Structure 1
Amino acid sequence: MTAGRFTLSPATSAVLADLGVSTGAVLRAAGLPEDLFLNRQVALTPDQFYRCWAALEEISGDPALGATLAQRVRAETFQPAIFAALCSADLRHAAERLAAHKRLLGPLGLAVHADGGRLSVTIQWPADPLPPPSFVAYELVSWVALARLGTRRPVRPERIAMPNPPGGAAGQAYEDYLGVPVGLAAAPVVTFTALDGRRPFLTANAEMWRVFEPELRRRLADLDRVESTADRVRAALLELLPAGQCSASAVAQRLALSRRTLQRRLAEEQTSFQAVLARTRHALARHYLERPEITITEIALLLGYDEPSSFYRAFHQWSGTTPHQARATAT
């Protein structure tokens, strides 16, 4: 995971399921790999993330997607940073915590102001690429959803505004949810009354915050880690091999990469597609050989070989012995 990216958790799939939208359809439309959510956490560049959002908006056919998502907010579908915010004493403290951990949310900044007792949160975006207006609307509306979830009260913002606010039916849908229209402003901002900013969170839990805080620190440290291409190739092969697909082209397509890019990234990790393929097949072969109910011929097919003789030659090259000898030793 690297800085400058939006991070998504596997719970994103649950959110899409609630919308009745196929995760695979969204990822394909966005040109992203279908194995994306097999990872524990996902990091997308702004361009990738915005393509994913645009694909979700198109497939759902919902012009007020942000409002719809806000109405489906549940604590268990939050990322840890936002779940930890629910442990705060009130909305003001939750905003301060989220601002401190804003890098976990993506390449955006949060400016929190308590002006005259009112609580205002302004969202600052990178200049390029600009986010879709509907996503900006969602980010603003999510603060209202957080306040309502924490207080269990129908909190209504004093003001909510953004560049290019939604109009027409979408604008009305947002107003129906928020209780106020989305106005025009140079920067996205949502403002709450002093009372709502200080209203106690029924979800406040200091002990749970002490549990989450080390995890948040760890995730901040993880931002500089990069996902191994070799690991992604291996995960793809685990699914493709039983179907007889073991080519670099098939794996590259699964990972939404060109074959040349796949080979280049593996070379940068001091390995190659053939080396990863061989290691994956060898590990799987050892696993299958420990299961006597699977014949040698079946193992060859599960590993993507057309003929058992090809598997015999490869296994001997890997281990210096035959599959039958290895099975006898294992049992």
Structure 2
Amino acid sequence: MSPTGFTLSPAIAVMFADLGIPAGPVLRAAGLPGDLFVHGPVTLTPEQFYRCWTAMEEASGDPAFAVRAAGRMSTETFHPPIFAALCSPHLRRAAERIAVHKRLIGPQRVLIGRGDELHLTMRWPADPVPPPGLRAYELAIWVALARLATRAQVVPTRFATPDPPAGAVAEAWRDFLGVPFQRADDAVVVFAAQDARRPFLTENTEMWRIFEPDLRRRLADLERAESTAARVRAALIELLPAGEGTATGVARRLALSGRTLQRRLAAEDTTFQGVLDATRHALARSYLDRPDISVTEIAFLLGYDDPGSFYRAFRSWSGTTPHRSRALP
């Protein structure tokens, strides 16, 4: 378990076998031990995990590898928190449970929108950026989960990422999803209200009661091990675009008093302003790598009231301007 890593179960070996991909060569190509999964669950950094995914795509020789992987998903390839969600009465409740426990298996966060439709947004660490196929695959898990649990061909009303595929790969995704793959600033999947409440045939209250205490214990262990600065960074990534990245807003999100938040950060030899500046700088670097986002838009995504404030802050971090930084090779 790690707030900054991906915890992989040995069950991932089932995915390799189902897809006809030799695990050892793929792992070695990613710079990882070929017997990585022999000794039980392992935790990889995001960079290691992304290399592993890229090596799988290359070994498959299939540009639509992510679609094929999503289509072959089964209960054997799910992690315990997601497998436990199959015990839920419907997809909305499953999403609520996964949103709480997702950090046990990776640094992504799941945001659930308001309204009758089930609007799910996946947020990833700003750096490094996940491979496009992996981002789509992780989003497609929700579609696979809904279909597996209901035994119905559930079709989302929207499926979008910042880097949608084109050509034959886009068509392959459309065949799998039943809707076009769209572009959006975040990775988003939306389900109609009736599908969000469609009964899970896998509902099992007794099994959930068995799973829940262990998941709760593991989450408590993770939170004890996770630094306050890391929790503040995660909260800021969510709150900054809404203009709520203040000490008060973060303390409220973490269920802490402002004084307690500042005291815990001081115990880690940092301050809220220090974490805020570092988070904004990292996010700015990531956003500047994307030509589809203007510098003015980046300023507002980072919670600045005007672009001038962002320019001044960026110069203090890097000694140059955002435009010049973007122009550098």
- What is the TM-score normalised by the length of structure 1? 0.66
1:197 aligns with 2:196: yes
1:161 counterpart SS class = strand
Point out where structure 2 has 5 or more consecutive residues left out of the alignment. 226-329
State the distance in 1 between where 2:104 and 2:161 align.
23
Q: Distance in 1 between matches of 2:128 and 2:76?
A: 30
**TM-score when scaled to structure 2?**
0.66
- Structure 1 pair 66–59 and aligned structure 2 pair: CA distance change class (3 A): same
- Provide, for residues 124-182 of structure 1, a one-character-per-residue CA deviation record: whole Å limited to 9, x for no partner: 11110000011011011111000001110000000111111011111111000000111
The secondary structure found in structure 2 opposite 1:63 is coil
1:87 — aligned with what?
87
Structure number with bigger Rg: 1
Q: Secondary structure in 2 aligned to 1:95?
A: helix
> Given that residues 136 and 188 in structure 1 are in contact (C-alpha distance below 8 angstroms), is that contact kept between their aligned partners in structure 2?
yes
Partner of 2:134: 135
**Is residue 91–residue 197 contact of structure 2 (8 Å, CA) maintained in 1?**
yes
Kept in 2, the 8 Å contact 1:2–1:224? The answer is: no
Task: For residue 16 of structure 1, give the secondary structure of its aligned residue in structure 2.
Answer: helix
Amino acid at match of 1:159: R
**Other-structure match for 1:310:** none
Contact 2:70–2:140 (CA<8 Å) still a contact in 1?
Answer: yes
For residues 95-124 of structure 1, the C-alpha deviation after alignment (integer angstroms, 9 at most, x for no partner) is 000000111120111001232x10010001
Q: Secondary structure at the match of 1:81?
A: helix
Aligned to 2:40: 40
CA separation in 1, counterparts of 2:18 and 2:214? 27
Aligned residue number for residue 328 of structure 1: none
Q: Residues 144-223 of structure 1: matches in 2 within 5 Å?
A: 144-221=143-220, 223=222
2:224, 2:6 → 1: CA distance? 14
Q: Mean alpha-carbon deviation: is it higher for 210-219 or for 106-115?
A: 210-219
Residues 175-324 of structure 1: pairs in structure 2 closer than 5 A? 175-221=174-220, 223=222
Structure-1 separation of matches of 2:21 and 2:45: 22
- When residues 10 and 152 of structure 1 are mapped into structure 2, their CA distance, relative to the original with a 3 A threshold, is same
How far, CA to CA, are the matches of 2:223 and 2:47 in structure 1? 19
CA distance in 1, matches of 2:160, 2:19: 26
Contact 1:122 1:188 in 2 (8 A): yes
Q: Are the equivalent residues in 2 in contact too, given 1:63–1:170 (CA < 8 A)?
A: yes
Task: Give the gaps of 5 or more residues in structure 1.
Answer: 227-331
The one-letter code sitting in structure 1 at the alignment partner of 2:72 is R
Q: How far apart are 1:222 and its partner, in Å? A: 5.5
Change (3 A) 1:49 1:120: same
Instruction: Tell me if structure 2 keeps the 8 A contact 1:86–1:94.
Output: yes
Equivalent residue of 1:10, what SS?
coil
Secondary structure in 2 matching 1:191? strand
Contact 1:2–1:222 (8 Å) recurs in 2 = no
Task: State the Cα distance separating 1:60 from its structure 2 match.
Answer: 0.6
Counterpart Cα distance in 2 of 1:13 and 1:220: 25
**1:81 Cα deviation from its structure 2 partner:** 0.5
How far apart in 2 are the matches of 1:13 and 1:55? 15
Deviates more, 1:105-114 or 1:204-213: 105-114
Checking the alignment, whether the CA contact within 8 Å between 1:175 and 1:181 is kept in structure 2 is yes
Distance 2:194 2:222 in 1: 36
SS at match of 1:27: helix
Give 1:329's aligned residue: none
The answer to whether the 8 Å contact 1:66/1:141 transfers is no
- Rounded to whole Å, the distance in 2 between the matches of 1:224 and 1:123 is 20
Corresponding residue for residue 321 of structure 1 = none
- Deviation sequence 1:5-29 (CA, Å, 0-9, x none): 0111001011101111111011010
Match of 1:66 in 2: 66
Deviation at 1:64, TM superposition (A): 1.7
Shift, 1:225, TM fit: 10
Deviations for 1:220-251, whole angstroms, at most 9, x for unmatched residues?
3554899xxxxxxxxxxxxxxxxxxxxxxxxx
Cα deviation, residue 67, structure 1: 1.4
For 2:41 and 2:217, the matched residues in 1 are separated by 13
**Alpha-carbon distance in 2 for matches of 1:12, 1:154:** 25
Aligned to 2:23: 23
1:241-274 CA-partner distances (Å, limit 9, x unpaired): xxxxxxxxxxxxxxxxxxxxxxxxxxxxxxxxxx
How far 1:218 sits from its partner (Å)? 3.7
Show the counterpart of 2:10. Answer: 10
Alpha-carbon separation, structure 1, partners of 2:9 and 2:220: 16
Distance 1:34 1:225 in 2: 32
Number of aligned positions between the proteins:
225
Q: CA contact under 8 A between 2:109 and 2:122: conserved in structure 1?
A: yes
Q: Give structure 1 regions of 4+ aligned residues with deviation exceeding 4 angstroms.
A: 221-226
Q: CA deviation at 1:74?
A: 1.1
